[in-house]
A = this chain, B = another copy of it.
């Protein structure tokens, strides 16, 4: 009992006793059993995060930001991926909830009905539930950290319109359940048409993204190259850029290319790929911060209203538009 006390609050133990405890701890190589601690105290140090894909550049940095911030608060990260399947998302949510985590982080606002029910139940039980990578202030059920994809789609279209282009295409990632990419595309087309341009969506093939960008570019050429092309992400755009320049095309004279994400490669190709920057790492660290704030609020007995944190996507002007 005294050892347990020492471990949580060394000051409450007599110096001499503390000394003996420390030496015993070292000799035995004792490691406290966290499940027992959690069971007894009802407090969890696990935060569960569920994302579509760990390997993708998009989410990896967000997870890094989340992980770093959690670590500095003594929290641990239980990570699961869904491969962009709502069904797998539901399973993962169900699985991680069994750990009664200190927080549940999911990606985006689209979930299966059952998943939604689980999330609400967790929230009711006092577990902070946060959605990352999207933001819709009208949706107040869960905390959100992200930005409006519709606004970004519109921003992309408006930029190309401002550059004088009137024939536009949005190249989508070709992943059926990447709802955020679709949303950018829909808003892109709507804003482009509102601005008097012809616009539509082209679905990329679901292969390695740069290669998909190349292929999409060729496919568009066959249909008659538009004046401006926006892409669901910078890897697609980079592939298209490489294909275009390999053919001797001049950008933006022959065709304007606009990416999304401001991945490192966009700074390196030619005079730079024009793109929209998003603070991916910040989404993760802000998520952790918000989670901790919500926990504190809850402990203080205050009712958590839905909290939102925004990151601000910005157009990065470079040479391709």
**Partner-B contacts on A (CB < 8 A):** 29, 31-36, 38-39, 46, 53-57, 60-61, 63-64, 67-68, 71, 76-81, 83, 92, 94-100, 117-118, 121, 208-211, 214, 235, 238-239, 242, 264-265, 267-269, 281
Contacts and interface: CB of A to CB of B under 8 A. Distances in A.
A275 to B, nearest CB: 15
Contacts of A31: 94, 97-98
A277 B258 CA distance: 31
A296 to B, nearest CB: 22
A33 B267 contact: no
B55 A64 contact: yes
Contact of A33 (B57, B64, B100, B117): B100
A54 B63 CA distance: 7
24 contacts: A29-B117, A29-B121, A31-B94, A31-B97, A31-B98, A33-B100, A34-B35, A35-B38, A35-B39, A36-B39, A53-B64, A54-B64, A64-B81, A68-B83, A76-B80, A78-B79, A79-B79, A208-B267, A210-B264, A210-B265, A211-B268, A235-B264, A242-B269, A265-B265
B238 A268 contact: yes
B33 A39 contact: yes
Contacts of A214: 268
A100 B38 CA distance: 13
A204 to B, nearest CB: 14
Chain B CB within 10 A, most for which of A57, A60, A94? A60
Chain B CB within 10 A, most for which of A35, A57, A79, A211? A35
Contacts of A95: 76
Given A54-B63, A71-B80, 5 more contacts: A55-B281, A57-B57, A68-B81, A78-B78, A238-B268
A143 B59 CA distance: 30
Nearest to A268: B210
B264 A209 contact: yes
Contacts of A117: 29
B55 A81 contact: no
Contacts of A36: 35, 39
